[in-house]
């Protein structure tokens, strides 16, 4: 039973890390093809023949693995999509906080994944308790 609890904890830590890592993503300039009805709702000009438009936006990842796209021309208008087709220059992609925050995320995830082992060793008295020796 303990093994299943440890395994479940590891799955939770990995799930949490992937969610936080995804939500740290930002793409400064992205073009997303949208259907005509969404283009009209966002005040973008749709191609009358194809019934589609290329929505130019700033994309931000969310914890639920969706993307929030905010229009570059009107930051007040935005749309949330699950897995949009995005056209962007890789130079426009970045992580919030840069290398420092990504390193901190990795450190916290490693600490969380090792926490059950540390707790088990502490309970058994291997770590965290002072041993008193007898002096002759």
Task: Report which of 31, 117, 128 is spatially closest to residue 72, judged by C-alpha positions.
Answer: 31
CA dist., res. 25 & res. 86, Å (int): 14
Under DSSP, is residue 80 helix (H, G, I), strand (E, B) or coil? strand
pLDDT tops 90 at residue 112: yes
Domain ranges in the chain?
A: 11-118
Could you read off the pLDDT of 54-81 as tens digits, one per residue? 888 999 999 999 999 998 887 778 889 9
Whole-number Å distance between alpha carbons of 98 and 103: 9
pLDDT of residue 72: 86
Q: Considering the entire predicted model, what is its pTM?
A: 0.76
Give the residue-averaged pLDDT of 33-46. Answer: 74
Query: Could you tell me the CA-to-CA distances from 91 to 30, 45, 134 in Å, in that order?
Result: 11, 27, 65
Mean pLDDT over the full length of the chain = 86
């Amino acid at each position: 039973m303990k093994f299943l609890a440890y395994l479940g904890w590891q799955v939770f830590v990995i799930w949490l890390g992937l969610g936080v890592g995804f939500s740290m993503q930002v793409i400064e300039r992205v073009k997303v093809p949208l259907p005509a009805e969404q283009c009209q709702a966002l005040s973008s000009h749709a191609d009358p023949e194809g019934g589609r438009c290329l929505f130019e936006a700033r994309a931000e990842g969310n914890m639920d693995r969706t993307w929030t796209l905010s229009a570059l021309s009107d930051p007040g208008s935005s749309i949330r999509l699950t897995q949009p087709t995005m056209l962007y220059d890789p130079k426009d992609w970045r992580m919030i906080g840069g290398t420092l925050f990504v390193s901190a995320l990795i450190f916290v995830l490693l600490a969380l994944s090792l926490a059950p082992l540390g707790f088990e060793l502490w309970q058994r008295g291997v770590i965290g308790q002072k041993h008193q020796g007898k002096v002759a």
